[in-house]
Amino acid sequence: MTERSAGASRSHAQAPDGADGLGGLGEFELIDRLVGDGQGAGGDVLVGPGDDGAVVRLDGPEVVVSTDALVEGVHFRCDWSAATDIGRKAIAVNVSDIEAMGARPVGVVVALSVPAHTELRWLDDFATGVRAECAAAGVALVGGDTTSAPQVVVTVTAFGDLAGRAAVLRSGARPGDQVAVRGLLGWSAAGLQTLRRGFASPRAAVAAHRVPQVPYGEGAIAARAGATAMIDVSDGLLADLDHVARASAVTFDLRSSAFAVADPVRAVAAATGTDPLRLVLAGGEDYALAATFPPGDLPNGWQAVGSVTVPGPDGPTVLVDSATWDGSTGFDHFGSH
For the stretch 273-304, pLDDT in tens is: 999 999 999 999 999 999 999 999 999 999 99
pLDDT of residue 271: 96
Q: Name the percent of the chain in helix, strand, coil, to the closest 5.
A: 35, 25, 40
CATH 3.30.1330.10-classified regions of the chain: 4-161
Q: Quick one: pLDDT band at residue 175, thresholds 50, 70, 90? A: very high
Q: Quick one: pLDDT band at residue 10, thresholds 50, 70, 90? A: very low
Express as a percent the part of the chain with pLDDT over 70. Answer: 83
Closest by Cα among 158, 42, 165, 152 to 102: 165
* Residue 25 neighbours by CB under 8 Å, 6+ apart: 33, 120
pLDDT of residue 209: 97
What sign has the CA pseudo-torsion 210, 337, 158, 61? positive
- The model's pLDDT over 27-65, given as tens digits with 9 standing for 90+, comes to 556 556 666 654 555 677 777 666 667 687 777 778 899
Please determine, for residue 7, whether its predicted confidence score (pLDDT) is greater than 70. Answer: no
Let me know the angle formed at the C-alpha of 91 by 106 and 109, rounded to the nearest 5 degrees.
Answer: 60
In the predicted model, what is the mean pLDDT of residues 207-227?
98
Closest by Cα among 307, 310, 311 to 295: 307
pLDDT of residue 17: 46
Comparing 332 with 171, the larger pLDDT belongs to 171
pLDDT of residue 56: 76
pLDDT of residue 38: 44
In the predicted model, what is the mean pLDDT of residues 84-110?
97
Q: Quick one: pLDDT band at residue 332, thresholds 50, 70, 90? A: very low
- The model's pLDDT over 103-132, given as tens digits with 9 standing for 90+, comes to 999 999 999 999 999 999 999 999 999 999
pLDDT of residue 337: 38
pLDDT of residue 327: 83
pLDDT of residue 336: 38
Residues in the chain: 337
- The model's pLDDT over 61-88, given as tens digits with 9 standing for 90+, comes to 788 999 999 999 999 999 999 999 999 9
In the predicted model, what is the mean pLDDT of residues 189-193?
96
Does the domain at 4-161 match CATH 1.10.3720.10? Answer given as: no
pLDDT of residue 52: 62
Query: Strand order in 63-71's β-sheet?
Result: 63-71, 153-161, 104-114, 140-148
**Which residues is 315 bridged to in the sheet?**
312
Q: Quick one: pLDDT band at residue 333, thresholds 50, 70, 90? A: very low
In the predicted model, what is the mean pLDDT of residues 226-241?
97
What is the pTM assigned to this prediction?
A: 0.87
pLDDT of residue 88: 98
Q: How far apart are CA 86 and CA 155, in angstroms?
A: 12
Q: Quick one: pLDDT band at residue 146, thresholds 50, 70, 90? A: confident
pLDDT of residue 13: 56
**Which CATH code of 1.10.1500.10, 3.30.43.10, 3.90.650.10, 2.40.10.10 fits the domain covering 170-324?**
3.90.650.10
Q: How far apart are CA 32 and CA 58, in angstroms?
A: 26
pLDDT of residue 107: 93
Please determine, for residue 308, whether its predicted confidence score (pLDDT) is greater than 60. Answer: yes
Q: How far apart are CA 138 and CA 160, in angstroms?
A: 11
Q: Determine which helix (DSSP H) or strand (DSSP E) holds 214, and give its type and residue range.
A: none
CATH 3.90.650.10-classified regions of the chain: 170-324
pLDDT of residue 55: 81
CA distances to 10, 253, 319 from 174, in Å: 47, 13, 16
Let me know the angle formed at the C-alpha of 333 by 330 and 334, rounded to the nearest 5 degrees.
Answer: 115
